[in-house]
Structure formats: structure tokens, C-alpha cells
A and B are shown apart, each in its own frame.
Chain A
Amino acid sequence: MTFMERMQKDFTTITLALIPVAIVINIVVGQVVALLKIPVYMDSVGTMLVAILSGPLAGAITGVLSNLIWGWVLPPPIGNPVAAAFWGTALVIGFQTGLFANWGWFKNKLPQSQAIAYVLGAGMLLTLLQLFLASPTFGSADFTPLALTGVVMGIVLTVITTFLTWRGTFPPLIVIGGVLLGIVSAIISAPVAAQVFGGATGAGTDLLVALFRYSGLDPLTSNLAQGLISDPFDKFVSYVAVWFIVRGLSKRLINQFPRGENVTDR
């Protein structure tokens, strides 16, 4: 199937009707999460929803438009030009989530033992990554206690998700998807944060950047390390939220979307 055919198949009228709603969901959900002072961004839930229901291309376009509108069309304090510079990250979030959904990662299909093995593996990978970031090898020996929060979060997350997988609460592969997406988006965001903004974005995570810089890391690596600490958790939490949302939608509505079979067994 050619690119244009795929576009035509994914961009049905209902996809078009969903995209602006998804953009607004990105913004308002992000605001509610900030209001509750929960330490994640959760500003891509709508993008992920489009990606799951209408495919990677629709997801990527939603992500890009979302950040551009957020950055340049809405007035402060909602609008913030900083968001516009990270359109590349939003594109990848939409595209990659669409791929994961196409691969059936948002369906509950694995046998229990295999599911637990996958989730344990992903959780251990995340914890090891955090351990590496906190270790002297990486250069952050001077403030190990703070960098260790990532390790603690990794362990807590592994235990919770393993328990929930054992109970069959959500599809196990979204744990892996969230961690992978977090790593990729950290890699894509870091050069933008370091080159365009000189390492600061005015958010609370700047404190982490400062600590890595203090330990002697160069600007790019410091931003990468900050992203690798915050993004995998953020994307994983977002995936769980999106999965709960999709699960609550009626099958009749889901099947109107071009990729409805990503989440239902027709």
C-alpha cells in the first residue's frame, strides 16, 4: 500500500473530527495533572489516542499540530512558545504509539507467565538505566542521593506493574512501550533543549539538569540524562491512562475509526 493510499485510509472524516478534540485533550489533561501537582507531564494523551485509533501518520500529525498550536496560537499562560520547539518529540510520540498499537501492544493477549516476564524485564531495564545514570561511571557521583530517586521510582514501578500484570489489569506490552517511547523522546528532546534553550526550559526538571551540570557533564548529556529520568515514567503513566480511556469507549464507537481493530477483537 502506498503512502497516499494509507493516508486516505487513515484520514477519514471521523479521524479529522477527532484530531482537534485530541489537541484540546492534550492541553486540558496536562493542566489537570499540573493542578494536582503530579510530577509527570501527561501532555500527549490525546495524541496517543489518535495514534491508537487512526494510525501512526494521524498520530504524528496530531502531535506536531498540537505543539505548534500550543506554542503559537493560544495565549499565555496556556500557550507557551517553548512547546513549539519540541514538535519533533510530539511527532515521534504520535508515530511510535501508532506503530505499537498496530503491533497489538494495546491488546491483552499474552499468557500470564510470559506477560509477567516481559513486564519484569522492562521494569528491570528501566531500573538499571536509572542506576547507570546515578552511578559514578556516568559522572553523577556527587549527588547520588538525588539521582537515586530514579532508581527508587524504577523499583516501585516494577513492583506495581508486575502486580497489576499478575492481576491482568492492563496489557503487559504497554509497560515496554512506555519505557521505549520515553527513552526515544528523551534522545530527541535533549538536543533541542540543549541547543535552542541552552539547557533550561523553565520547568521543574531544570533542577535535575543543573545537578548533572554540576557533576561535570556537558550540556547535551545533562539534558539527555534529565530526559532519561523523567520521560520513561511520564510515557508509561500516559499509556496506562490512554489504555483505561480506550477500554471505556464503546466498541461501536471504536470500530468507526480506521484502526479500531488495534484495540478490539473483531
Chain B
Amino acid sequence: MNQSFYLDRASGWHALHPLTKIAVAFALSVTAFCVRWDFISVALFVFVVIPFAVWGNIWRPVLRATFTVILPLAVSLALIQGFFFPGAQDVLFQIGPFALKREGLEFAFVTGTRLMLIAGAGLLVVYATHPADLALALVQAGAPYPLAYIIVTAIQLLPEMQARADGILKAQQARGLETTGSLRVRVSALLPLLAPLVYGALENVQERALALDARAFRAPRAKTSWRVLRDTLAQRALRWLLVMFSILLIVASVFVPLFIR
């Protein structure tokens, strides 16, 4: 039941502190937004994201997930911007009343590769970070403890709820519920599917609250954790460097015209 991105691999990238990985992804995304060079995102993707993914032995899932997410977006972007970019002049070819223009495609390329880089950088983090470690790192950095509870519980609940949704769908179909056909038929199938699903999910809420109270969840004392995060001085320094670099880049892109995209 692996319903989070996390893939357990023994790699140096995996062993880094979650916040270090997040800082890398953040700095990459900021750079892609602030540097005015059409190929910056492609360059960062090829020379930073892919090597890191190879280091973490997760390059295959990272690439696959990046393209699953980006491909439909890229097609849509290329069509919308290629044909309807405001003020574009340079016509590449004509289909009926529509003209494909170079400026639009360029804009689609820059935006599309930028989104590809951001998705790739984020996936690089989530494939190599156990959700519980992420939650713990956030709490240790000062985030409220309930945040950790919410993230981890949501991830654990999702496969359970999906299995239940599937079961309800099959059960109602076995009783003769139509789930295909006209819009009216499909809309009227909504209630018999959603009602048991949602009530089933809400049934346990009260029990969960009682269980949390019984375990002194709201006690103001600091909680101990079963998981241990490894952090080093070098990583802490690297994180600050990356954050300072990102802030400087943002400030620079506001004031130095060469940088603005």
C-alpha cells in the first residue's frame, strides 16, 4: 500500500535532511522564474534535476511522473499560445482561419519548460522523502504539531477511501445503478455513490477525536518522535546559502532589467 510518492532507496540524496531537499527545489524554481534566458529551465533540468535523480536512483519515476503531468499541459499550452498569442506576427503556417505563430510557440516553450523544471524539482523531493520525515522536519522547524498529524493521516486514509469508493461503485452497479448514459442518468447516480462514501468517512471522525484525546494529543508538551532525522552543519549552511541566493535573485530580477522575464 504505497500511496505516497516515496520510494525507499539507499542513496545520498535520500539521506539528506528534508529541508535541504526542499531548499534545492525552491532555489531551482526561483532561478527558472527569475533568469531571463529561454533555455534556463531546460539547462537546469538536464544539468541539475537529472543528475540528482540519478544520484537518488529515482530518475525513472521522476522522469515518468514529470512527463505525465506536463505533457497534457504542454500540448494545451502550445495550441493556445501558438495560435492566439497577443501581438504575434511571425506566421509559421496556416490552418483555415488559424495561424500558428513563432512568438506564441516560444512563449509556450519557456512556460512549458519552466513548469517541467518545477514539477521535476518537486518530484525529486517527494520521491526521496518519506511523508512522515517531511512532517517531522516541518514540526522541528517550528510548524504546529497538528500539521504533521493532518499530512500523515490524509496519506494513510486515501487508499482506504479509494478502496471503499470502488466497493460502493461495484455494489451499486450490482443493484442496477446506471453510471453511463445521458447527463441526467449520470447526475442521478451521484447521490447513491457519494452518500455512503462520505457518511462512511465521517463515521469515524468522532472515534478518532476520542482516540486523540485519550493519547493526550493536545498536551502542550513537546512530542517525542520514533523517527530520527539526520542533519549536519554543512547541510544547514547549504540551506541558508540556497535561501539567500533565491532571495537575492528575486530582488535582483526586480531591479536589474536584464533579469526580468
Contacts and interface: CB of A to CB of B under 8 A. Distances in A.
A209 B3 CA distance: 34
Given A21-B157, A24-B158, A81-B69, A197 B212 contact: no
A36 B190 contact: yes
Size band of the interface chain A makes with B: 35 or more
Contact of B165 (A28, A69, A196, A218): A28
B151 interface: yes
A29 B198 contact: yes
Nearest to A27: B158
Nearest to B208: A17
B81 A198 contact: yes
Contacts of A28: 158, 161-162, 165, 197
B45 to A, nearest CB: 14
A219 B84 CA distance: 9
Nearest to B160: A24
Given A24-B158, A82-B73, A241-B194, A256 B80 contact: no
A146 interface: no
A214 B97 CA distance: 10
A69 B80 contact: no
Contact of B201 (A13, A24, A31, A79): A24
Interface string B1-15: 001110000000000
A179 to B, nearest CB: 19
Contacts of B186: 36-38
B193 interface: yes
A81 B118 contact: yes
Interface in A180-230: 196-202, 206, 209-210, 213-214, 218-219
Contacts of B146: 11, 16
Contact of B202 (A75, A219, A249): A249
B76 interface: yes
A57 B151 CA distance: 18
B56 interface: no
Contacts, number: 181
A32 B194 contact: yes
Interface string B64-76: 0100110011011
Contacts of A117: none
Given A14-B209, A24-B201, A202 B183 contact: no
A21 to B, nearest CB: 5
Contact of A73 (B5, B80, B83, B217): B5
A163 interface: no
A134 B154 CA distance: 41
Contacts of A249: 199, 202
Given A32-B165, A76-B69, A253-B202, A81 B80 contact: no
A136 interface: no
A200 B77 CA distance: 5
Contacts of B86: 218-219
B3 to A, nearest CB: 7
B155 interface: yes
Contact of B158 (A14, A74, A200, A218): A74
A18 interface: yes
Nearest to A201: B73
Interface string B103-147: 000011001100100110011011000010010000000000011
B191 A244 contact: yes
Contacts of A21: 157, 201-202, 204-205, 208
Contact of A72 (B75, B122, B212): B122
A132 B80 CA distance: 23
B233 interface: no
Contact of A36 (B189, B208, B218): B189
Contacts of A90: none
Contact of B205 (A14, A31, A69, A197): A14
Given A20-B153, A201-B76, A13 B212 contact: yes
8 contacts: A17-B212, A24-B201, A29-B197, A36-B193, A73-B5, A81-B69, A197-B115, A206-B80
* 3 closest residue pairs by CB, A with B: A213-B84, A200-B76, A20-B153
Interface of A: 11-14, 16-21, 23-25, 27-29, 31-33, 35-39, 45, 65, 69, 72-82, 196-202, 206, 209-210, 213-214, 218-219, 241, 244-245, 248-249, 253, 256
Interface of B: 3-5, 65, 68-69, 72-73, 75-77, 79-81, 83-84, 86, 98, 107-108, 111-112, 115, 118-119, 122-123, 125-126, 131, 134, 146-147, 149-151, 153-155, 157-158, 161-162, 165, 169, 179, 183, 186-187, 189-191, 193-195, 197-199, 201-202, 204-206, 208-209, 212-213, 217-218
